[in-house]
Amino acid sequence: MIKQPIKRSALNFNLIENGASMIEQNGWSLASSFGDIEAEVNSSKNSVAITDISNLSKFKIYSPKIDEVLLNTGGNLRISEVRKEHFMKNSMRHSHTTARLSINELWVSSNTNNSFQEIKATYIENDKNVELFEMTSAYTGIRILGPDAPLLLSEFTDINIGLNTFKDLTSAQSMFLQVYGLLIRADLSSLPTYDLFIDRSYGLYVWKAIMSLGARYNAKLVGMECINQLESNP
Amino acid sequence: MSKIMRTDRFPTGELIDRLKPIEFTFDGKKVAAYEGDTLGSALAAQNIKVLSRSFKYHRPRGLMCVSGKCPNCLVEVNGSPNIRACITTVENKMNVKSQNRWPSVKYDVFSVIDKLHWLLPVGFYYKSFYKPRFIWNLVRPIFRKAGGLGRINPKAKSILEKPHKAVFTEIAVVGAGLSGLSAALSAAEQGVEVTLIDQLEHLGGNNKDLLEEELVRKIIAKKSITIITGAPVFGFYPPNLITLDTAEEMIKLHCEKIIIATGSHEVPIIFESNDLPGVMLASGAIKLLKLYGAIPGNDAVIITESNEGYSQALELKNYGLNVVAVLDSRTEIEPQLSKPLEQAEIPVFTDVKSIQAIGTDYISSIKFYYADNWRYLDCDLACSSGRLQPALQLALQAGCSTEFNSNLNTLVPSEPPKQIFLTGGLIGISDKNDSSNHGKTVGLAAATNKPDLKFNIKDNSTNNTKFTNICSKNKRFICFCEDVTSKDLSQAIKEGFTDIQILKRYSTITMGPCQGKMCLTNFIRESSIETGSTQAELGLTTLRPPVEPITLGSLAGPGFIPIKRSPLHSKHLELGAKMVEVGGWIRPYSYIEALTEVSIVRNNVGIIDVSTLGKLDVRGSDAARLLDFIYVNKMSNLKIGKVRYGVMCLENGTILDDGTVARLSDDRFFITTTTTNIEMIESWFKWWLASDTNLDVALVNITSEHAAINIAGPNTRNILQGLTTTDISANKFPYMTVKESFIVDIPAIIMRIGFVGEIGWEIHFPSIYAEHLWDELYNRNVQAFGVEAQRILRLEKGHVIINQDTDSLTNPLEIGLDHIIGSTKSDYVGKNQIHQQYNRGIKRKLVSFTMHEKSPTPQDGSAIIHRGDPIGRVTSARRSPVNQKPFGLAILPYNLSIKGQEVFILINEDLYPAKVSLESIYDPNGTRLRA
């Protein structure tokens, strides 16, 4: 009998090695927690927390008329600007994060499973001059959050990560630990929150490097439960 | 606790804690110290004067600058060489050793070289010891052994790499002396965020006084000023980045503006035997007394050429030293300078012509020429005073020019670029009020973007006289690091080396550990006098980072090295694969044994992880047109559901890359490339796309989006059919076709292609399912095979690997791809050159070869010899499991690329015969491949 396919991030094995309790949700093998959810929430609020967000659906949208596409779907964005949309569907909280990467390119990440259809419906149905590329597998996502998150980030990027310079709902494409990545700041529960997306093939290398650097700031690995708690208590 | 007798210390000593005695060893002997001492101050307190031996002549050397600039106190500490004793804080039980001596620093056998100096003039290695030729081979190891500073101990514990941190600031002020403090406060008062940096642990510079202490208090209280002390700034990098090395981390400080207030420091005055232990900088002697209560001597002679020497003489007297005399090279001095010294009963001699320090291992007297007589003064300390050199390295790295400054009698930085500001002793300001006011002005200018604020600097110029030679036999050192004397410099100039850059390289002045901090000014001055050019005409040598020594560990940082892993990486580890690094990826070399894996693929079925293949998703109504332009072969006539092997070339007709192109729909293509080239190919595509913005094409690199597994072997069809509802029979899924389908419910692009010469499919599917699909295949008793088995298999089939079997000059005709050139295409990249080559005929060709089974297997790259001449090379070679013979691919001249042609391959200095074959040794007709 053929088993249902299970989706795994590039960090899956390492999460297990680090003591994650894994669960299956929406076809994904996810880290629920690392043993002490309260401590994880505490770290997020007082120092810095690191979590795997590779399960987010990710898309790239290309169009020669990106301005029009944006205007038709919620308002224009300048390059490096980000917008976040939340909505309830089937009693689940959905959120889409859209970042403008260049004059003709958008990035969309989403926490829903069937987001391809949603994104397609939103962007393509209205405009045939739009190409939608599914990139969920292509990128490892690492979330770094907490008051010390900028300090940790300053150790592996030359972007000005100052809270007043790299504001909430801003993105940047740069080199992180010598690897190209996309960094999006989208604060969670008023905590500075940075989502770093890097090519999946470098995922484990970057993850291990961040954990190593994070030791200076008592960074803690956190799971899905911690993030859910923070999201539900804005 | 040791019972060592402690020598008396002076009652001063701001930094030491006399209630906390500690000890360390120096060359095996215990040395007493206090917490807060440096190695240098503790050794001085114990009257240990000789700390090292000089680089070339092995002359005894002792403390001189006491500020970490000169080479005289370089020692080995706990196995680490070249540590400056004068600025290294003592830790209990430190193991300190002197360097560059044998058997001891007190009795060094190599000091005989000092007597043989006539054999070793400046640039001697260009002029001597080369005839007869064997002499250089004899003496070179002796020079290597005798020279050098310190030895690396391979067993010593390495210092961990430091983290790097990026920090941003509006205005950085480098240097926290009077002018730097004033500038920082002035800028901060305008509401600007300021970062104030100093290499010392405290603010206020080297000569703190009440004014500076008041400023320090205000600065500490100012919230918009971030203070970083104990942080030498070691480099400036455009546009406005400076780098700081702290004890915990290396900071990359990105600045909008930089105020450089690095000041100036004392450098030695040149006179005979000015390198003897006991000859110090006056500021160094005062520092030892003031900060550590260490007494560097009891009877001091001050040698000066400026007013500073007089105040320093009084200061030393006030500490309790016997100041024997002040020797001034100037003819006239102001009465108000000499009067206090008269009252203190310190004799002053002006218009002193020549000076010589006398002593063997340390100074015992000074000989000087005064009023037409030679005179002698007994002393155990001679303090060189008042010759200043600006700390201009950072300013020059930042792009400043230089100009002559009469206050310092040397070149100072000038004309700073935009966003750079200069102040203080660095530009020759010596008056305290001027320092403070100029600093304020500069701080205001930087904060308010008004760089044109004017300021008048008082002229405090002094005479620039030089002590003349007493005797040509005695050495007058300019460069203490490299043992270069003024005679050496004079000789080099006489030999014609008059350009400052060449003179530096020939004489090696400024090229030692101090990097010019102790000798640059003297070098320029003396060169100016010798050549007759002004200092401004001579200019300075180029000053590069690092300004201060920095460990490789600091520069390297945490040492993270990017490496790629396939989505199936953990599966390979689970199966116990031997992993290797190939093209930036970690890949499985083999799981059991390569030849066994080859056999399994040939007789049953195997799977290999080919996720590392580059992949592009190309879409749009003009996608086919773009591909026609980029590929040599035609792609626009590729039918939907078909796959074609494609080659891309550069404009010069040489091969860039190869891969497959699969047409998924009218306007969508799925492209594979070689593993290592994908980023370059993606850029290549985008480059050509940018040349015509009207093209309707979108492309994305989906290398990591898709994992890929190649399943191959005669039983593949049976296995695969059990995992998909798609009909994969030969009729329904023929060779070189593609389908989008599902395998174990996973959406996949499945291509019926092969690289290893067996029936096979390449399955591309979302990486998030990689482990799932691998498990499904593996659990059907399919053996995994690694890259080595793959190499053997493809070589048996004669398939080419770009950049392995080709080089940067190979064109498609040379590897037998004439048939794919789409001659009906109007244009494609490289067309002209390829057609010219076609018309001219090729000169070399890639062919296969076989050897006798008893021959050893050649290495990739082995030379091919014909009639005694090297005429080609082996590109890939292995031993065939089919017939046990070495075989492979090689590049040969076209006229020798004939079936049956014999050539010879050079293996381990012997020649072995090989025969050219024009077909693969396995399945030459492709029957198995196309089954």
Residue A4 lies in a domain: no
Residue A3 lies in a domain: no
Per-residue pLDDT tens digits for B182-230: 999 999 999 999 999 999 887 877 655 656 778 888 999 999 999 999 9
* Bigger pLDDT: A158 vs B210: A158
Contact B562 A202 (CB under 8 A): yes
- Contact between residue B369 and residue B376 where contact means Cβ atoms under 8 Å apart: no
Using alpha carbons only, give the angle A212, A218, A222 rounded to the nearest 5 degrees: 85
Q: 3-class DSSP state for residue B873?
A: strand
Chain B residues near residue A205 by CB distance under 8 angstroms: 560, 562-565
Per-residue pLDDT tens digits for A192-226: 999 999 999 999 999 999 999 999 999 999 999 99
pLDDT of residue A194: 98
pLDDT at B145 over 90: no
Give B702→chain A minimum CA distance, Å. 7
Residue A7 lies in a domain: no
Chain B residues near residue A159 by CB distance under 8 angstroms: 166
Q: Could you tell me which chain A residue has the CA closest to the CA of B722?
A: A2
Domains of chain B: 17-126 (3.10.20.440), 165-265+389-448 (3.50.50.60), 268-386 (3.50.50.60), 477-552 (1.10.10.1100), 589-795 (3.30.1360.120), 843-917 (2.40.30.110)
Integer-rounded Cα Rg, in Å, for chain B is 38
pLDDT of residue B3: 36
Angle in degrees, 0-180, between the axes of helices B500-507 and B520-531, rounded to the nearest 10: 110
Contact A158 B619 (CB under 8 A): no
Contact B254 A160 (CB under 8 A): yes
Determine how many CB atoms are found less than 10 A away from the CB of residue B610: 21
Angle in degrees, 0-180, between the axes of helices B335-343 and B308-319, rounded to the nearest 10: 10
Element holding B401 (H helix, E strand): strand B401-405
- A44 lies in the same domain as A145: yes
| Residue of B252, B560, B706 to mutate for A, most A C-beta atoms under 10 A | B560
Query: Which CATH number does the domain housing residue A199 bear?
Result: 3.30.1360.120
Q: Kindly give, in sequence order, each residue whose CB lies less than 8 Å from that of residue A173, ignoring residues fewer than 6 positions away.
A: A101, A180, A181, A182, A183
Contact A216 B163 (CB under 8 A): yes
Q: Where a domain ends, among A134, A163, A184?
A: A134
Q: How far apart are CA B811 and CA B33, in angstroms?
A: 74
pLDDT at B628 over 70: yes
pLDDT of residue B825: 85
pLDDT at B575 over 60: yes
Cα–Cα nearest to B47, from B104, B7, B93, B85: B7
In one-letter notation, the amino acid at residue A6 is I
Give the Å distances, CA to CA, from B617 to A116, A152, B682, B685: 17, 35, 10, 11
Contact B769 A10 (CB under 8 A): no
Residue A18 lies in a domain: yes
Contact B567 A200 (CB under 8 A): yes
Partner residues linked to B103 by β-bridges: B108
Q: Which domain holds residue A21?
A: 12-54+139-232
- A112 lies in the same domain as A185: no
Residue B331 structure tokens: 């003819």
Per-residue pLDDT tens digits for B408-462: 889 999 999 999 999 999 999 888 888 899 999 999 999 998 766 666 655 555 4
Give A233→chain B minimum CA distance, Å. 31
- Contact between residue B522 and residue B128 where contact means Cβ atoms under 8 Å apart: no
pLDDT at B463 over 50: no
Q: How far apart are CA B27 and CA B25, in angstroms?
A: 6
Q: Exposed (0-12), middle (13-18) or buried (19+): which is B190, by Cβ within 10 Å?
A: middle
Chain A residues near residue B566 by CB distance under 8 angstroms: 201
- Contact between residue B912 and residue B851 where contact means Cβ atoms under 8 Å apart: yes
- A69 lies in the same domain as A93: yes
- A118 lies in the same domain as A146: no
Q: How far apart are CA B920 and CA B901, in angstroms?
A: 16
In the DSSP assignment, the letter for residue A81 is B
- A61 lies in the same domain as A115: yes
pLDDT at B791 over 60: yes
Determine how many CB atoms are found less than 10 A away from the CB of residue B340: 14
Give the Å distances, CA to CA, from B595 to B201, B589, B789: 65, 12, 6
Q: How far apart are CA B180 and CA B235, in angstroms?
A: 18
Give B575→chain A minimum CA distance, Å. 14
Partner residues linked to A113 by β-bridges: none
pLDDT of residue B6: 42
> What is the DSSP annotation of B382-394?
EEEES-EEE--HH
Q: Could you tell me which chain A residue has the CA closest to the CA of B566?
A: A201
Give B754→chain A minimum CA distance, Å. 24
Partner residues linked to B728 by β-bridges: none
A131, A154, A209 member nearest B166 (Cβ): A154
Residue A5 lies in a domain: no
Q: Where a domain ends, among A99, A134, A169?
A: A134
- A143 lies in the same domain as A226: yes
Residue A1 lies in a domain: no
- A44 lies in the same domain as A105: no
| Residue of B579, B767, B769, B778 to mutate for A, most A C-beta atoms under 10 A | B767
- Contact between residue B536 and residue B576 where contact means Cβ atoms under 8 Å apart: no
Contact B745 A2 (CB under 8 A): yes
Instruction: Give the whole-number percent of chain B exceeding pLDDT 90.
Output: 73
Residue A16 lies in a domain: yes
Q: How far apart are CA A15 and CA A140, in angstroms?
A: 13
pLDDT at B630 over 70: yes
Contact A5 B744 (CB under 8 A): yes
B167, B168, B705 member nearest A138 (Cβ): B705
> Considering chain A, what is the average pLDDT of its residues?
91
Handedness of CA B685, B687, B693, B698 (dihedral sign): positive
Q: How far apart are CA A173 and CA A21, in angstroms?
A: 32
pLDDT of residue B92: 95
- A117 lies in the same domain as A48: no
Q: Kindly report the backbone phi and psi dihedral angles of residue B50, in degrees, each rounded to the nearest multiple of 5, phi listed first.
A: -95, 115
A133, A203, A216 member nearest B617 (Cβ): A133
Per-residue pLDDT tens digits for B504-544: 999 999 999 999 999 999 999 999 999 999 999 999 999 99
Residue A164 structure tokens: 């007043």
Q: How far apart are CA B38 and CA B55, in angstroms?
A: 23
Residue A2 lies in a domain: no
Query: Which CATH number does the domain housing residue A120 bear?
Result: 3.30.70.1400
pLDDT at B1 over 60: no
Cα–Cα nearest to A163, from B226, B187, B168: B168
Half-sphere exposure of B550 (CA within 13 A, CB side): 26
Pairs of CB atoms within 8 A across A/B: 122
Residue B679 structure tokens: 């980023």
Give B161→chain A minimum CA distance, Å. 12
In the DSSP assignment, the letter for residue B164 is E
Contact A201 B705 (CB under 8 A): no
- A90 lies in the same domain as A201: no
| Residue of A201, A202, A208, A210 to mutate for B, most B C-beta atoms under 10 A | A201
Count how many domains chain A has. Answer: 2
Local confidence band at B73 (pLDDT 50, 70, 90 cut-offs): very high
| Residue of A15, A131, A211 to mutate for B, most B C-beta atoms under 10 A | A131
Local confidence band at B277 (pLDDT 50, 70, 90 cut-offs): very high
Q: Kindly report the backbone phi and psi dihedral angles of residue A94, in degrees, each rounded to the nearest multiple of 5, phi listed first.
A: -100, 145
Q: What is the mean pLDDT of the segment spanning B244-265?
A: 94
pLDDT at B157 over 70: no
- A75 lies in the same domain as A188: no
Q: What is the mean pLDDT of the segment spanning B144-154?
A: 77
Contact B704 A204 (CB under 8 A): no
Is beta strand B698-701 parallel, antiparallel or unpaired with respect to B614-619?
antiparallel
Q: Is the peptide bond before B340 cis (omega within 30 degrees of 0)?
A: no
Q: Kindly report the backbone phi and psi dihedral angles of residue A134, in degrees, each rounded to the nearest multiple of 5, phi listed first.
A: -75, 125
Local confidence band at B158 (pLDDT 50, 70, 90 cut-offs): low
- Contact between residue B738 and residue B668 where contact means Cβ atoms under 8 Å apart: no
Q: Is the peptide bond before B546 cis (omega within 30 degrees of 0)?
A: yes
- A106 lies in the same domain as A124: yes
Q: Where a domain ends, among A134, A153, A181?
A: A134
Partner residues linked to A188 by β-bridges: A191
Q: How far is CA B32 from the centre of its chain?
A: 39
A131, A136, A179 member nearest B562 (Cβ): A179
Give the Å distances, CA to CA, from B762 to A116, B643, B712, B737, B774: 25, 12, 9, 11, 13
- Contact between residue A58 and residue A184 where contact means Cβ atoms under 8 Å apart: no
- Contact between residue B802 and residue B614 where contact means Cβ atoms under 8 Å apart: no
Chain A residues near residue B612 by CB distance under 8 angstroms: 201
- A92 lies in the same domain as A127: yes
| Residue of A200, A206, A212 to mutate for B, most B C-beta atoms under 10 A | A200
Q: 3-class DSSP state for residue A48?
A: coil
